[in-house]
A and B are shown apart, each in its own frame.
Chain A
Amino acid sequence: MGISLSNISKSYKKVKAVQDISFDVNPGELFGLIGPDGAGKTTIFRILTTLLIPDEGTATVAGFDVVKDYKVIRKAVGYMPGRFSLYQDLTVEENLTFFATIFGTTIEENYDLIEDIYVQIKPFKDRRAGKLSGGMKQKLALSCALIHKPKVLFLDEPTTGVDPVSRKEFWEMLKRLQKKGITILVSTPYMDEAALCDRIALIQSGEILEIDTPKAIVSQFPKTIYNVGADNMYKLIQSLQQYEHVYSVFPFGEFVHYTDKRDSFEMADLQSYLEKEGLTAIHIESTKANIEDAFMELAR
């Protein structure tokens, strides 16, 4: 009942969008595709939603082949494309009614499924969809994708361009939907959202780097990470990159994530080096690796 891909490849003319991708999503799982723009996430979604035919490999959704049984799949899945794809000149309610009708159902019939989400946009039900805020649009799009009680839900970057509060709410909704037995495949470029999935696949340049639970991926991180801070961020990054024992340097919020080549690393050594470089207000502490660190390490 879940999703299964084996050795899927797809090219657009000369550009290889995805190469030899295989993974399985278990029924009822919330599975995340994590990767930067252009990694091939949308291509995977389009293959699974029967919009594209893979060059090589096979894939099944809810047990049906994406090429042969495309008609069955189209009835059974909910799809929310990356771009806002509702009718901007129709009101919230008209959009929802329209999608309910073309799937042969009504809003009332499956109202319990969308209730949590729809109550938040209900006060604006007579507003045109084009005039909604980013977060509202996503909630409406999710409602429309859910209105026919799909077995599998595909969400392509549902939180891109949405404010942090709405993003948090959105993920809470996904968790609730998962409890109702819907298999969810979601993609996002935001690493912090990855931790909310049951399992994730890290993907870059059309290839899968790693598939595991977010926890396992983080715990496999081989090095100790140090949060380094100073008054001059730009100078700090430059100095760290020139440090003889440097392994990796990534800016991360107000700090820089630093890893060292040596196993026997002393904070005091780095402290004195940075002082010599003329930096002040230096702050160094060890910290836990997160998904982003793991991704950067795998993508090296």
Chain B
Amino acid sequence: MKRFIGFIKKEFYHIFRDRRSLFILFGMPIAQILLFGFAITNEINNVDIAILDHSKDASTEEVINKISASKYFTVKQILTREADIETAFKKGKIKAVLNFEKHFSRNLIKQNQATIQIITDATDPNTANSITNYINAILQNYQQEKNRAIVVEYQIIPQARMVYNPELKSVFMFVPGVMTIILMLVSAMMTSISITREKELGTMEILLVSPLKPFQVIIGKVVPYIFLSVINAVVIVLLSIFIFKMPLQGSLILLALESVLFIITSLALGILISTIAETQQSAMMISLMGLMLPVILLSGFIFPISSMPVPLQIISNIIPAKWFIIIIKGIMLKGVGMAFIWKETLILMGMTLFFIGLSVKKYKIRLE
């Protein structure tokens, strides 16, 4: 046991004396969470639009007022000719143009029908889609107000309610994802680098020719990073609760335990990588390419898994991050307990055991 403590002490010296890795350890989580939280957003807010009004009558004015009164749109430009639409888009500021037909009011009253053309800049398809939907909703609303006096015989009134994230804040979606990425990277990348560093510098040779058992070396490498990753997880949760007002509906203890489980899964992956990689650089490349990309693309962090092609949906099942994201979203946003996430927890445990078993099998007690 004394040997083991001596080994862990040495690991902490390494970590605290290497400024660069310290920065990665503690700087990256904070930077990432702030970046994802503030800068990257799918929400529609103050989108600049232009109006091309061929009628300029009472009705069009009402519609325009309604649209510019919403917090989603700002009328930036009034166009006069069709030809101006193209130029407005090309300048890049304007994301949508509303084109009112001639005699809008008259048509509406006499023929009970008038048209507005909604033209959107679809270079960013998601935003274009959202803008169209928002404008449609506003127009629907206007129509209902106009029709209040008339009795319609059949009417379906949809009452949509968004649960768990009623304000549709995208930060609620990013925080679990970022937390997953950071825990994965810190745990897997840092351990695999620290083990391969011993190989590269030749100190592994001396450690092998010593009474230290392989599992003592590995556990000794892993323990400091469990500790540091837990600190990271706490920082991320605090930031998301206090800065981004993310709710914590479920049990804090359950969240903590699940996080520790995921940290151990990632560490096991890191050990596995270090048994394959011979140099620090290749360990880093494998961690970044092999872990970061699948986590971002296939875990459901940014792109919903249900809309992926079937083969990718199947592949996503082997990504530990997918299951952890489901777990944190469940605990933080829905407030579910173990009864709802036991399946995901079991899958993570199984993966961890598999990784550990594989690395023990692959760990070399000699140089070749």
Q: Is the CB of A102 within 8 A of B367?
A: no
Interface code A52-82, partner B: CB below 8 Å = 1, 0 otherwise? 1100000000000000001100110101010
What are the residues of chain A within 8 A of B206 when measuring CB–CB? 79, 81, 85-86, 99, 144
Within 8 A of B (CB), among A85-136: 85-90, 94, 97-99, 101-104
Q: With both chains docked as a complex, state the minimum distance between the C-beta of A165 and any C-beta of chain B, in angstroms.
A: 26
How far is B206's CA from A299's CA once the two chains are assembled, in angstroms?
33
- The listed residue (A53, A74, A90, A94) touching B208 by CB distance below 8 A is A74
Q: Is the CB of A88 within 8 A of B211?
A: no
Q: Is B117 close to A, CB under 8 A? A: no
Q: Is the CB of B201 within 8 A of A102?
A: no
Q: Is B17 close to A, CB under 8 A? A: yes
Q: Is the CB of A86 within 8 A of B18?
A: no
Q: Is A49 close to B, CB under 8 A? A: yes
Interface code B8-22, partner A: CB below 8 Å = 1, 0 otherwise? 011001100110000
Q: Is the CB of A104 within 8 A of B211?
A: yes
Q: With both chains docked as a complex, state the minimum distance between the C-beta of B11 and any C-beta of chain A, in angstroms.
A: 10
What are the residues of chain A within 8 A of B201 when measuring CB–CB? 85, 87-88
Q: Is the CB of B7 within 8 A of A49?
A: no
Q: With both chains docked as a complex, state the minimum distance between the C-beta of A83 and any C-beta of chain B, in angstroms.
A: 5
Knowing A79-B206, A81-B202, the reply to whether A89 touches B212 (Cβ < 8 A) is no
- The listed residue (A50, A75, A90, A103) touching B366 by CB distance below 8 A is A50
How far is B212's CA from A85's CA once the two chains are assembled, in angstroms?
17
Q: With both chains docked as a complex, state the minimum distance between the C-beta of B346 and any C-beta of chain A, in angstroms.
A: 37
Within 8 A of B (CB), among A196-223: none
Q: Is A298 close to B, CB under 8 A? A: no
Within 8 A of B (CB), among A141-189: 144
Knowing A74-B210, A103-B211, A104-B2, the reply to whether A89 touches B367 (Cβ < 8 A) is no
Q: Closest residue to A53 on the B side, CB-wise?
A: B366
Q: Is the CB of A104 within 8 A of B14?
A: no
Q: Is B368 close to A, CB under 8 A? A: yes
Q: With both chains docked as a complex, state the minimum distance between the C-beta of B63 and any C-beta of chain A, in angstroms.
A: 69
Q: With both chains docked as a complex, state the minimum distance between the C-beta of A88 and any C-beta of chain B, in angstroms.
A: 7
| Those 4 A-B pairs whose CB atoms lie nearest each other, nearest first | A101-B6, A85-B202, A51-B367, A79-B209
A-B contact pairs, 29 of them (CB 8 A): A51-B209, A52-B366, A52-B368, A70-B365, A71-B211, A74-B208, A74-B210, A75-B211, A81-B205, A81-B206, A83-B202, A85-B206, A86-B206, A87-B14, A89-B17, A89-B18, A90-B10, A90-B14, A94-B13, A99-B206, A99-B210, A101-B3, A101-B5, A102-B3, A102-B6, A102-B211, A103-B210, A103-B211, A144-B206
